Chain A
Amino acid sequence: MALNFKKETFREDYTYSNSDAAIKRFPFPFPEDQYMYSVNIEPHTKGKQGSVCEFTFDIDEHYVAECIDKKITLEQDPGRYQALPHMMDAQWDFVELTMGALAQDYPEHFTLQKQGLIWTWENKPLGIKDTFTFGDTSTLAAEPFDYIGRQLQGDFVLLDHRDETLYADAGIVTSQADWSLAFNVGMSWREWHGPVPRATELGVMDRALKYLLNLQIGSPVRRLNWTMTVNPRLDTSPENYPHWGSDRNTVNAENIGDLVHLRVELQTLFRLPRSNAIVFSIRCYLINLKDIAIYPCWAKRLHRVQKTMHPDLIEYKGMTKFHPMMVDWLAKFDDGETLAIGTQPE
């Protein structure tokens, strides 16, 4: 099925919106009425047809617009792409994984032809066609990870596995929920998770690390993470905080349903074969409160989750300014009906 790519923006006039189909397939992250951190990792196996987990990497109606937004962010701040020199094997592993998956899952949009090490990649939506030698960086116009990273929705971090931990030694990060690649590059697992409240005490991070160190080739895993963002802005980076931080002050009882977005990250992790590194993929989905409320069980669930949210998490996720207003806005949808465990819209 060919996708219809929308023309829309994620900055300034914010013309981003979700179609009915995109709302229905939104990866709603709350199966229960209360939220707490857990190692909610599951195998990244093929999901239901049409779901965001149907394929290895999800391409949707926002693909072209997101790639354009990524290009703008990288032009304004080239430091959003970083790769330490020892990560070159991992870069090529990443090329093989992503091009192979896209060509297999979306053959009408992407093709990959291999003649030995001479590969021809065609990306029809973005109008790109290149022939290069796999493993020979001089045959591509950019570093391999940079080249293909720009042609994918979401952010990617390549983690080097050494000294019994993982180091964030390469990344292309333009749609992050307030964290900085320039700050985190070269850091170890414990260092970059240091700021997460309550998780360290719960031992969640140590357990997750142990699990990931044993991540196997051919058995990727996934989890969902979430936060809330004012306006459908992909680039909520600390570097550009002056451009988006004050948006929280514009939220009022009238516009909250349009302005406040649930931001869900579909995080997937893959072991890379030749480098033994791990790809951490963070695919961002945005939906405003009004669109969530189209499905009553989602509105009820979100109300209960937010109403019982731990104050540390409200602060950590940057929701302090508009949180009470959001709970009030959602309350009108909640009749107290008991909801079954699960995340389906209906």
Chain B
Amino acid sequence: MTMINVKVAAIEQVTPLVKHFTFVKEDGSSLPAFSGGSHVVVSIDIGGRVHRNPYSLMGSPMENEAYHISVRRQENSRGGSVFMHENVTVGMPLKITYPMNLFSLAKKGRKHILIAGGIGITPFMSQIADLKRMGANYELHYAFRSPEHGAFAAQLKESCGDHLHCYIDSNATRLDLQALLSDQPLGTHVYVCGPSAMVVATLETARNLGWPENHIHSEQFLSPPIGEPFKIQLARSNVEIQVSAEMSMLEAIEAAGVEADFLCRGGVCGRCELDVLETDGALLHNDHFLTDSEKASCKKIMPCVSRAKGERLVLDL
């Protein structure tokens, strides 16, 4: 995988839980342009173990001198977000992937409804730059816990004006999805990014109201969940690997020196998909990529976020 060498140019604490990082190319040259909604995967080395986490790019896609990401400190972190908050300092070199977009704007859309919850605002920051440049019709609905958690509310108010609608839990202002989605013109697309409950509620409301499936867009990167340890056998590499509680299957495979394909590492893109040759237990599918019937067939698994229970799991790798 082609990586870009960057260094941290600035770090800013934007809310009690969110830090904003600015990256520039280590050699001082320009970074690749990208499209609104893109993310990069950031590699960090924590005590010899490489963590790779996806983060949305927040800057304007037109600016290629620097990339901007924001990281929320996760309570049940396996270490990645805590490391970003506590150990990453200005000047530190990091490796990131080229930008990748799994949450792109529908360019043919007549109107765009963006729904963000908390840190889920990040992919919309770059999308808004694109929407404004294209002169598109859009609304941004941004929900957060309390005024101090509205990381980018002031900045967005300035750039979006009347297009921005904020909902603050502590002020008891709530987003009424039913009302919002039941009164939109034909050709409207809805995009949601935020906590799982919000994503599910948006998808269900839109579907129940009869929105076409290809007008509903969501992005929800998953962190590999912590779980019970288990063993895997890689048939072609002829090795057996122990997957510890805090490691993902993909990380365990990489740590064993076996090269595996990957891109988003968040259960979304499908690139790391592996064929299951044999299993005597249950596959714990955590990804958003495989269909329900594929999951039920026990023939495929996404090692970036999914796990297994049982004595034997043989993979085609």
For B34, give its contact among A86, A96, A217 (CB under 8 Å). Answer: A217
Contacts of B2 in A (CB 8 A): 216, 218-219
Name the residue on A nearest B37 (C-beta): A276
Contacts of B270 in A (CB 8 A): 210, 214
Contact in complex: A216, B263 (CB < 8 Å): yes
CB of A344 closer than 8 Å to a CB of B: no
Q: A214-B263, A214-B271, A274-B34 are in contact. Are A219 and B98 (CB under 8 A)?
A: yes
Name the residue on A nearest B214 (C-beta): A163
CB of B310 closer than 8 Å to a CB of A: no
Contact in complex: B35, A276 (CB < 8 Å): yes
B95 to chain A, nearest CB (A): 14
Contact in complex: A273, B100 (CB < 8 Å): no
* Contact mask for chain A residues 273-297; partner B; CB cutoff 8 A; 1 contact, 0 none: 1111000000000000000000000
Contact in complex: B98, A218 (CB < 8 Å): yes
* Contact mask for chain B residues 93-128; partner A; CB cutoff 8 A; 1 contact, 0 none: 000011111001011100000000000000000000
A94 to chain B, nearest CB (A): 13
Contacts of B108 in A (CB 8 A): 86, 162
CB of A155 closer than 8 Å to a CB of B: no
**Main secondary structure on chain A at its contact with chain B?**
loop
For B99, give its contact among A93, A160, A273, A275 (CB under 8 Å). Answer: A273
Q: A219-B2, A274-B35 are in contact. Are A161 and B104 (CB under 8 A)?
A: yes
Determine which residue in B33, B99, B100, B107 has the highest number of CB atoms from chain A within 10 A of its CB, and name it: B107
Contact in complex: A274, B61 (CB < 8 Å): yes
B279 to chain A, nearest CB (A): 23
Contacts of A276 in B (CB 8 A): 35, 38, 101, 104
Contacts of B269 in A (CB 8 A): 214
How far, in angstroms, from A214 to B99 measured CA to CA in the complex? Answer: 11
CB of B91 closer than 8 Å to a CB of A: no
How far, in angstroms, from A86 to B106 measured CA to CA in the complex? Answer: 10
Name the residue on B nearest A214 (C-beta): B271
Contacts of A161 in B (CB 8 A): 104
* Contact mask for chain A residues 203-243; partner B; CB cutoff 8 A; 1 contact, 0 none: 00000001000101111000000000000000000000000
Contacts of A275 in B (CB 8 A): 35, 107
Name the residue on A nearest B273 (C-beta): A210
Contacts of A89 in B (CB 8 A): 35, 107
CB of B147 closer than 8 Å to a CB of A: no
Determine which residue in A93, A162, A219 has the highest number of CB atoms from chain B within 10 A of its CB, and name it: A162
Within 8 A of A (CB), among B176-209: none
CB of B32 closer than 8 Å to a CB of A: yes
How far, in angstroms, from A93 to B101 measured CA to CA in the complex? Answer: 16
How far, in angstroms, from A87 to B297 measured CA to CA in the complex? Answer: 39
A203 to chain B, nearest CB (A): 13
How far, in angstroms, from A86 to B214 measured CA to CA in the complex? Answer: 17
How far, in angstroms, from A282 to B101 measured CA to CA in the complex? Answer: 25
Contact in complex: A273, B33 (CB < 8 Å): yes
For A162, give its contact among B38, B99, B106 (CB under 8 Å). Answer: B106
Contacts of B99 in A (CB 8 A): 217, 273
Contacts of B35 in A (CB 8 A): 89, 273-276
For B33, give its contact among A162, A219, A274 (CB under 8 Å). Answer: A274
Contact in complex: A160, B98 (CB < 8 Å): no
Contacts of A218 in B (CB 8 A): 2, 32, 98
Contact in complex: B263, A273 (CB < 8 Å): no
Beyond A86-B108, A219-B98, A275-B107: 13 further Cβ-contacts under 8 Å? A86-B107, A89-B107, A162-B104, A163-B214, A214-B263, A216-B2, A216-B97, A216-B98, A216-B100, A273-B32, A273-B33, A274-B62, A276-B38
The 29 sampled A-B contact pairs (Cβ below 8 Å) are A86-B107, A89-B107, A93-B33, A96-B33, A162-B104, A162-B107, A162-B214, A163-B214, A210-B270, A214-B263, A216-B97, A216-B263, A217-B32, A217-B34, A217-B99, A217-B100, A219-B98, A273-B32, A273-B35, A273-B61, A273-B99, A274-B33, A274-B61, A274-B62, A275-B35, A275-B107, A276-B38, A276-B101, A276-B104
Top 9 A-B residue pairs of the complex, sorted by shortest distance between their CB atoms: A273-B33, A86-B107, A276-B35, A163-B214, A217-B98, A218-B98, A276-B101, A276-B104, A214-B271
